Amino acid sequence: MRRLDSSSADFQLQLTALLAFETSQDPDVDHRVAAILADVKARGDAAVIEYTNRFDGMSAQDFAELELTQAELKAAFERLPAAQAEALQAAAERVRRYHERQKMASWSYEDEDGTLLGQQVTALDRVGIYVPGGKAAYPSSVLMNAIPAHVAGVKEIIMVVPTPKGEKNDLVLAAAFVAGVSRAFTIGGAQAVGALAFGTQTVPQVDKITGPGNAYVASAKRAVFGIVGIDMVAGPSEILVLADGTTNPDWVAMDLFSQAEHDEIAQSILLCPDAAYVDAVAASIAKLLPNQPRKDIIAASLANRGALIVVKDLAEACEICNYIAPEHMELSVENPEALLPQIRHAGAIFMGKFTSESLGDYCAGPNHVLPTARSARFSSPLGVYDFQKRSSLIKVSEAGAQKLGKIASVLAHGEGLTAHANAAEFRLK
Amino acid sequence: MRRLDSSSADFQLQLTALLAFETSQDPDVDHRVAAILADVKARGDAAVIEYTNRFDGMSAQDFAELELTQAELKAAFERLPAAQAEALQAAAERVRRYHERQKMASWSYEDEDGTLLGQQVTALDRVGIYVPGGKAAYPSSVLMNAIPAHVAGVKEIIMVVPTPKGEKNDLVLAAAFVAGVSRAFTIGGAQAVGALAFGTQTVPQVDKITGPGNAYVASAKRAVFGIVGIDMVAGPSEILVLADGTTNPDWVAMDLFSQAEHDEIAQSILLCPDAAYVDAVAASIAKLLPNQPRKDIIAASLANRGALIVVKDLAEACEICNYIAPEHMELSVENPEALLPQIRHAGAIFMGKFTSESLGDYCAGPNHVLPTARSARFSSPLGVYDFQKRSSLIKVSEAGAQKLGKIASVLAHGEGLTAHANAAEFRLK
């Protein structure tokens, strides 16, 4: 695992190289995705059945075979071992409680002329959530996508989840039951994104698509953006631990692992002013790695994209953090509140030694769908606000029309837009 | 102008055809934009100077010639006729007052175990606003983009505005002064978007780019999305007037014109249950059109994409409106409050006969950058919230770590993520 020192002359160059990640769109993938989307748009159900049979090794004859009934979702939940069922429900309950605080409300006020100004907040009518299937099946992602939509007041939540060779994941189905998914289809890839974006004979057209997926899914989401809303185009997962040296180094090592185990291209970074503590974490890594079932992925990820960085002090660590704008950020320090105001850019901030990232991933309450690849500079965690939208409200009084009409008339004439000016002038007495 | 009746058997087909608009990306434009962006990324200032000289008929030798100083912006404001200066300031003041209500604040709470959960709201550091230049120079757009950023607390607002053949628009420069733009450059097109997204030797890299532009600008914004945030990819402007027949038909005709005068592909639609009133509006259109300076654009827009639609009743009109999800929606009825709860999807809602869209465009207070092409189903007006973002806050107490750790451990093992589980288990006593 590479070690850097912020006092090196070329540190900024090294840091830039460390963060560089080509999220470049593959023109070949885009091309194939465009063809699939056009076909799904033109032929609907028939096209989706064909692609699903071809790519997921299925043999469906009729679209009904690709729909999961509410009874199936419920049965999956009831089959779960008690500990899993309880953990799922406890997590869902905490996630729901947190997200309820995010709900936006309409507001309005009257100005001195009796003109009403405001904002009406409404929920989206119908959303689609994409849940990856196969090996990387994450029931927690079902909760994190569906619950905010539910809290927002979305009436219909349509889940799609591919089931390669027909293999269904009970935990995913159970999570859909717990989260209150309206309908669920065992389809995936660009064909599922197309079905949700355009609608087919069976799959209803949605207003927004959220949730992670592979390169085909990401390309398809980019392509349908505008026809429907999308959440974000996610990159590899990242953690940045900012440590003052007071947390057990084994704990920090395991927190770095829990990001690295996702993927060979996931990124785990430690920032600390204490070189001896960095040595201790490196020793913990060496000690703990051999016992990890996913040790090959972790080792590759740490070697490829990980870094242990010695910094001058905690203030400098905060500035480096703001440059990186990490998806997950642990303030693993004695007094996290003192540093918090200095952290401007991060998807989620985990404060204090007891707050492992994994607690937040599953059940603390906040969402685990977070901005990656430095996009926390300008975007937010997935939330209830992603499933609500605003309409401006303006009701100009007769008195207001006199005052505003004169201003609008001057500005409209200044822009050469006479009809705009006339529309305002018509309302003058 | 076409007339439709919602009771026709093929009304839904006609409506779909009316709304159809190919926002298709032109692969040729995308290709040329990609080359410009790559060149700007590689060569910075030198590339931007070259493209600006070539496309905008300029002859700059040095980048300093492409920067507008604060003194120039101030001088432009001071040169304005008093009526324009006052109108600009009055509009800015109202827009600022409305947007201040949109500002989000951080929040947090403690649960029963002493675990802190919350959301930290911060402003973006630096944003770029794109202002179209040349013929269609809209100073009001400078206010509508810069003021929300300012209210959000963005420290640096970088404006770009092309000045073909060196021609500067005093009202645009004055608006930049009034709105408090930090730096301004006379560059445009894909090269300006590239300069803002990647940064050059002179132009600082921004975190988000907002504002409208031509096909090259739209393509460039799509391409850099992810490296920086973008607001939206705007389509042609639209108005939908829902009338009960109590508003002066001349007023409604002029409101339809004020959308149509923007562009031959702008869309103006009237919905009304009263066929005689629709006739009256048609007569007003015929009477008023010949005197409009932009009558050719208006006539083309109304013929191409306009419609007068007779509906069964106001409830049906609301449902049609929700399908269309118009950018601008006038509730030109006696009692707009009664219908408001039925309007779920619209960018801005103008209530009552005195509220011409043009009052909202310039100075009522709400933003005039609004979702087009049915995207009000899932998106919102430009606002302060576009220049703020959230970080989740989690500080788990020692007691909380015991409870949450057990839940996380069960779920992480269920997903096969052992390091996640171990990180939680390490915090158990």
pLDDT for residue B214: 86
Q: Is A413 a catalytic residue?
A: no
**B149: Cβ contacts below 8 Å, ≥ 6 apart:** B124, B127, B129, B157, B210, B387
Q: Which candidate in A355, A372, A382 is best for mutational testing of the B interface (most B CBs within 10 A)?
A: A355
Tell me whether residues A375 and B404 touch, CB distance under 8 A: no
B214 interface with A at CB cutoff 8 Å: no
Predicted structure pTM score:
0.96
- Given the residues A327, A330, A357, A368, the one annotated as active site: A327
Tally A–B CB contacts below 8 A.
Answer: 367
Q: Is B395 exposed, middle or buried (0-12, 13-18, 19+ CB in 10 A)?
A: buried
Tell me whether residues B358 and A414 touch, CB distance under 8 A: no
Spell out, as residue ranges, where chain B has pLDDT lower than 50.
none
Nearest residue of B to residue A21 by CA position?
Answer: B227
Tell me whether residues B109 and A120 touch, CB distance under 8 A: no
pLDDT for residue B27: 76
B115 interface with A at CB cutoff 8 Å: yes
Report the SS3 class of residue A308. strand
pLDDT for residue B24: 56
pLDDT for residue A152: 98
Is residue A341 a contact partner of residue A375, using CB atoms and an 8 Å limit? no
A407 closest CB neighbour out of B91, B116, B229:
B91
pLDDT for residue B240: 98
Tell me whether residues B393 and A349 touch, CB distance under 8 A: yes
- Given the residues B328, B330, B357, B368, the one annotated as active site: B328
> Min CA distance, A94 vs chain B (Å)?
10
Report the SS3 class of residue A21. coil
pLDDT for residue B22: 64
B411 closest CB neighbour out of A140, A394, A418:
A140
Report the SS3 class of residue A183. strand
> Min CA distance, B404 vs chain A (Å)?
6
Burial A321-360 (b: 16+ CB within 10 A, else e): bbebbbbbbbbbbeebeebbeebbbbbbbbbbbbbbbbbb
A393 interface with B at CB cutoff 8 Å: yes
> Min CA distance, B187 vs chain A (Å)?
21
- The DSSP 8-state label assigned to residue A395 in this structure reads E
Is residue B25 a contact partner of residue B219, using CB atoms and an 8 Å limit? yes
Nearest residue of A to residue B345 by CA position?
Answer: A391
pLDDT for residue B25: 62
- Given the residues A99, A328, A357, A368, the one annotated as active site: A328
A428 interface with B at CB cutoff 8 Å: no
Can you tell me the distance from the alpha carbon of A308 to that of A277, in angstroms, rounded to the nearest whole number? 10
> Min CA distance, A363 vs chain B (Å)?
6
B396 closest CB neighbour out of A116, A255, A359:
A359
Q: Is A368 a catalytic residue?
A: no
**Which residues of B are less than 8 Å from A254 in CB distance?**
419, 422-423, 426
Query: Distance from first CA to last CA of chain B, Å, rounded?
Result: 76
A122 closest CB neighbour out of B344, B373, B408:
B344
A423 closest CB neighbour out of B119, B258, B347:
B258
A357 interface with B at CB cutoff 8 Å: yes
**Which residues of B are less than 8 Å from A87 in CB distance?**
406-407, 410-411, 414
Tell me whether residues A427 and B251 touch, CB distance under 8 A: yes
Tell me whether residues B389 and A398 touch, CB distance under 8 A: no
Mean pLDDT for each consecutive 10-residue tract of chain A (429 residues)?
96 93 73 95 98 97 97 98 97 98 97 96 98 80 97 98 94 97 97 98 98 89 90 87 98 97 94 98 98 97 97 98 97 97 98 97 95 94 98 98 97 94 96
Is residue A357 a contact partner of residue A239, using CB atoms and an 8 Å limit? yes
**Which residues of A are less than 8 Å from B345 in CB distance?**
122, 125, 391
